[in-house]
């Protein structure tokens, strides 16, 4: 059973391990329990758009009861924030449509990351535009980009201690470090590279953010209980993959507590797959 | 594959993270060297095992890959983003004072964060430099892991935005700090805009930022030139793009839109390589004997799944058949290690390319 205790859930892991699928499943699971949930992806091109076959943009779109999806770019986050601060839409537009100002913001280091994390934490901090949800699940970037994003407020605070930037950075850092408000989900496959990356990532999050970290193993074949295999290519392949996964499992378990093992469902329909993974969460 | 290498001087391997892009890039390098070319593979952050195979586990210099016995020659280099960016600034800056000033600026450190696109920029700088050196018949560039394949192409714009003359102009002839710089901008009639920015960020930040942009102004010309040079190189008729992707509905759809963006941007997409698309046993008929009922059930379940995916692939290949080559690679079960491991992947790529009846590598 995986308990989601926090209003903010950041999902990360190595590229290609099934982060988006897990994030969607967590969101769906929470929504089915009557929580109002927002599933957020970052960037300009939507993955969930392909996934749910619906256009996804910055305005939350309801895809099932209690569950909204939205994509945040740094520009939309900043526009939101400026709009909230100046209250007058026309003024905010004037600011945002100013060409030089746009280029300046685009060029200014760490400002974009702060805009995203500022919005992500605004509900919890009661600061900035209201986001009326019980949980927000973030389908984050992969390992390296994720750490760079999370480190931006620290870097900014080290550079600028005072004034609004210093204050905001500090408040964001506090939220990300608070295990009562923010939890981190690390998704991994039972393969050599994802496992070693997960271990390192776990150590970094534990040290720099907080210890409320859940480790999810995806696409496990360890439900196969057979011990004897014949010479067919298929059974040899199963045997080989099982062996490899068992080795990776042992390596992972050596240093980390594994919170959930999701079996490989061999399911090509996205909605069915989300249903199946969500059910695993309550087992 | 031979003609892809012979008709191009640069092959850019793009794709989102975790699809095996680095391995494919290195294996293509092996293949080109086997054909007799002098080839350089530039990679970013390779896994330890791959770095060892290429002999680039240490510093970021370009090395001749050890233990090779090819008709041609295989070279490899690791792209160290921070190092290249610093070196670029050292070279582009007019004096040591300027270099010191930039490197000491507190905001400069933050520039290395990935949203700024600095990793992509530095890999293009490296590619550009090596290409100009004319030392190789072919350079294969493994691009940094991005969330979406298309992110790579947009990154030079991000860096370029930093050096837009409109921003730096604000700071030229303003050597004094703080108020005076910003009040000069006030005269430009953007008071409202600026006061909002001030409200959001505060004086300390604005001072630091003005320092930052002011010190960058001397680099503007150089950066602009490099950005233009890399853009031209990417659109050159001797530069081909490959998209390496995994195999699921969303990724396949993403590939379609990526193709559109590349074409409208004036880039040439040569091939889409679908990596680890299916296990090898899918190619064989169903075994007659299973060790247990549960294993047979397992076979049926997985086979059903791969059959569904095969239908999806057929449709995809039909859509793309006359525009771009689509190559599908099955999973390799051997543990890939050393140069031998890369040769296995290279063999697989070559066999698959020769097998494709539609299209065929141009």
- Global ipTM: 0.90
Q: Which of A232, A266, A218, A269 is nearest to A26 (CA)?
A: A218
Mean pLDDT of B155-177: 62
Percent of chain B whose predicted confidence (pLDDT) is above 70 = 86
Task: Give A32→chain B minimum CA distance, Å.
Answer: 24
Strand B138-142 relative to strand B38-43: parallel, antiparallel, unpaired?
parallel
Cα–Cα distance measured from residue A164 to residue A118, given in angstroms and rounded to the nearest whole number: 12
Of A42, A109, A193, the CB nearest to B107: A109
Estimate to the nearest angstrom the gap between the alpha carbon of B359 and the chain centroid: 25
Minimum Cα–Cα distance from A234: chain B residue:
B281
Strand B269-274 relative to strand B239-245: parallel, antiparallel, unpaired?
parallel
> Using CB atoms and an 8 Å cut-off, which of residues 98-117 of chain A contact chain B?
98-101, 103-104, 106-113
- A50 interfaces chain B, CB cutoff of 8 Å: yes
Percent of chain A whose predicted confidence (pLDDT) is above 70 = 100
| Contact criterion met (CB < 8 Å) for B167 and A17 | no
Residues in chain B: 362
Mean pLDDT of B119-131: 88
Q: State yes or no: pLDDT of B173 exceeds 60.
A: no
Helix (H, G, I), strand (E, B) or coil at B12: strand
pLDDT in tens, A77-111: 988 888 888 888 888 888 888 777 777 777 777 88
| Contact criterion met (CB < 8 Å) for A165 and B161 | no
Which contiguous run of DSSP H or E holds residue A2? none
CA triplet B22, B254, B308: central angle to 5 degrees? 95
> Using CB atoms and an 8 Å cut-off, which of residues 170-189 of chain B contact chain A?
170
Cα–Cα distance measured from residue A74 to residue A108, given in angstroms and rounded to the nearest whole number: 12
Question: B175 pLDDT band (50/70/90 cuts)?
Answer: very low
CB of A133 within 8 A of CB of A38?
Answer: yes
CB of B343 within 8 A of CB of B30?
Answer: yes
Question: B176 pLDDT band (50/70/90 cuts)?
Answer: very low
Q: Which of B313, B326, B315 is nearest to B358 (CA)?
A: B326
| Contact criterion met (CB < 8 Å) for B116 and A109 | yes
| Contact criterion met (CB < 8 Å) for A160 and B213 | no
Minimum Cα–Cα distance from B257: chain A residue:
A45
Torsion of CA A138, A144, A149, A150, to 10 degrees: 80
Which residue has tokens 């939350």?
A60
Residue A90 main-chain phi, psi, to 5 deg = -60, -40
Cα–Cα distance measured from residue A2 to residue A6, given in angstroms and rounded to the nearest whole number: 12
Q: State yes or no: pLDDT of B359 exceeds 60.
A: no
pLDDT at residue B338, as a whole number: 87
Helix (H, G, I), strand (E, B) or coil at A133: coil
Of A15, A165, A226, the CB nearest to B202: A165
Q: Which of B135, B66, B120 is nearest to B231 (CA)?
A: B120
Cα–Cα distance measured from residue A184 to residue A204, given in angstroms and rounded to the nearest whole number: 12
Query: pTM score, two decimals?
Result: 0.90
The DSSP 8-state label assigned to residue B146 in this structure reads: B
Taking each helix axis as running N to C, give the angle between helix B81-92 and helix B96-104, from 0 to 180 degrees, rounded to the nearest 10. Answer: 140
Minimum Cα–Cα distance from B286: chain A residue:
A234
CB of A187 within 8 A of CB of A216?
Answer: yes
| DSSP alpha helix (H) spans, chain A | 19-32, 47-52, 74-86, 89-97, 99-107, 111-125, 143-159, 163-177, 192-208, 233-255, 270-282
Task: Give B3→chain A minimum CA distance, Å.
Answer: 31
| Contact criterion met (CB < 8 Å) for A237 and B279 | yes
Which residue has tokens 């964001």?
A172
The CA-to-CA distance between both ends of chain A, in Å, stands at: 5
pLDDT in tens, B75-98: 999 988 888 888 888 888 888 888
pLDDT at residue B361, as a whole number: 42
β-bridge partners, B274: B245, B328
Cα–Cα distance measured from residue A145 to residue A99, given in angstroms and rounded to the nearest whole number: 28
Cα–Cα distance measured from residue B316 to residue B256, given in angstroms and rounded to the nearest whole number: 9
- B96 interfaces chain A, CB cutoff of 8 Å: no
Cα–Cα distance measured from residue B70 to residue A271, given in angstroms and rounded to the nearest whole number: 49
Q: How many CB atoms lie within 10 A of CB B300?
A: 11
The CA-to-CA distance between both ends of chain B, in Å, stands at: 8
User: What's the helix, strand, coil split of chain B in %, to 5?
Assistant: 60, 10, 30
Cα–Cα distance measured from residue B79 to residue B131, given in angstroms and rounded to the nearest whole number: 15
Task: Give B360→chain A minimum CA distance, Å.
Answer: 28
pLDDT at residue B139, as a whole number: 98
Helix (H, G, I), strand (E, B) or coil at B19: coil
- In order along its 283 residues, chain A shows pLDDT tens digits of 688 989 999 999 998 899 999 999 999 999 999 999 999 999 878 889 888 888 999 999 999 999 999 999 988 998 888 888 888 888 888 888 877 777 777 777 788 889 999 999 999 998 888 888 999 999 998 888 899 899 989 988 988 888 888 999 999 999 999 999 999 999 999 998 899 999 999 999 999 999 999 999 999 999 999 999 999 999 999 999 999 999 999 999 999 999 999 999 999 888 999 999 999 998 7
Which residue has tokens 């019980």?
A134
Tokens found for residue B209: 């930022």
């Amino acid at each position: 059973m995986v308990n989601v205790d926090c209003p903010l859930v950041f999902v990360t892991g190595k590229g290609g391990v099934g982060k988006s699928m897990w994030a969607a499943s967590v969101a769906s699971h929470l929504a089915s329990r009557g929580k109002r949930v927002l599933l957020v992806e970052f960037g300009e091109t939507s993955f969930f758009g392909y996934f749910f076959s619906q256009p996804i943009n910055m305005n939350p779109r309801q895809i099932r009861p209690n569950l909204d999806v939205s994509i945040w770019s740094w520009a939309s986050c900043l526009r939101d924030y400026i709009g909230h601060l100046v209250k007058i839409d026309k003024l905010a537009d004037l600011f945002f449509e100013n060409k030089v100002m746009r280029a300046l913001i685009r060029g200014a280091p760490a400002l974009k990351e702060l805009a995203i994390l500022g919005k992500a934490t605004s509900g919890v901090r009661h600061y900035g535009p209201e986001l009326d949800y019980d949980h927000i699940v973030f389908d984050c970037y992969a390992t390296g980009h994720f750490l760079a994003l999370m480190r931006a407020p620290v870097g900014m605070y080290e550079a600028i201690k005072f004034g609004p930037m210093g204050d905001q950075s500090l408040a964001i850092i506090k939220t990300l470090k608070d295990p009562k408000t923010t939890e981190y989900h690390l998704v991994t496959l039972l393969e050599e590279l994802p496992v070693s990356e997960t271990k390192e990532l776990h150590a970094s999050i534990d040290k720099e953010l907080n210890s409320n970290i859940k480790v999810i193993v995806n696409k496990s074949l360890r439900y196969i209980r057979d011990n004897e295999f014949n010479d067919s290519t298929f059974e040899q392949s199963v045997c080989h993959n099982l062996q490899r996964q068992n080795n990776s499992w042992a390596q992972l378990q050596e240093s980390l507590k594994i919170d959930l093992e999701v079996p490989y469902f061999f399911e090509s329909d996205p909605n069915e797959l989300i249903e199946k993974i969500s059910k695993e969460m309550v087992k | 594959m031979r003609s892809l290498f012979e008709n191009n001087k640069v092959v850019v391997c793009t794709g989102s993270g975790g699809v095996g892009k680095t391995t494919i890039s290195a294996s293509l390098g092996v293949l080109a060297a086997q054909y007799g070319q002098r080839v350089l593979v530039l990679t970013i952050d390779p896994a330890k095992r791959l770095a060892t195979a290429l002999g680039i586990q240490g510093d970021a210099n370009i090395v001749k890959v050890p233990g090779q016995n090819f008709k041609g020659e295989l070279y490899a280099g690791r792209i160290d983003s921070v190092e290249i960016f610093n070196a670029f600034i050292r070279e582009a800056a007019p004096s040591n004072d300027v270099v010191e000033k930039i490197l000491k600026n507190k905001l400069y450190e933050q520039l290395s964060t990935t949203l700024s696109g600095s990793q992509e920029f530095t890999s293009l700088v490296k590619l550009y430099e090596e290409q100009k050196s004319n030392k190789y018949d072919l350079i294969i560039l493994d691009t940094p892991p991005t969330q979406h394949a298309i992110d790579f192409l947009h990154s030079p714009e991000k860096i370029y935005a930093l050096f837009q003359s409109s921003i730096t102009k604000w700071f030229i002839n303003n050597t004094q700090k703080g108020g005076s710089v910003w009040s000069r901008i006030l005269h430009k009639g953007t008071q409202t805009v600026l006061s909002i920015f001030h409200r959001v960020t505060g004086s300390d930040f604005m001072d630091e930022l003005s320092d930052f942009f002011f010190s960058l102004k001397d680099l503007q010309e150089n950066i602009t030139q490099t950005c233009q040079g890399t853009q031209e190189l990417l659109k050159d008729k001797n530069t081909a793009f490959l998209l390496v992707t995994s195999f699921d509905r969303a990724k396949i759809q993403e590939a379609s839109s990526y193709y559109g963006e590349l074409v409208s941007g004036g880039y040439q997409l040569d091939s889409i390589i679908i990596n680890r698309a299916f296990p090898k046993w899918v190619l064989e008929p169903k075994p007659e004997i299973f060790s247990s009922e549960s294993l047979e059930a397992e076979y049926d379940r997985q086979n059903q799944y791969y059959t569904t995916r095969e239908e999806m692939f057929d449709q995809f290949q039909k859509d793309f058949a006359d525009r771009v080559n689509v190559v599908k690679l099955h999973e390799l079960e051997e543990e890939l290690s050393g140069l031998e491991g890369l040769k296995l992947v290279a063999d697989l790529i070559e066999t698959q390319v020769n097998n494709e009846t539609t299209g065929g590598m141009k």
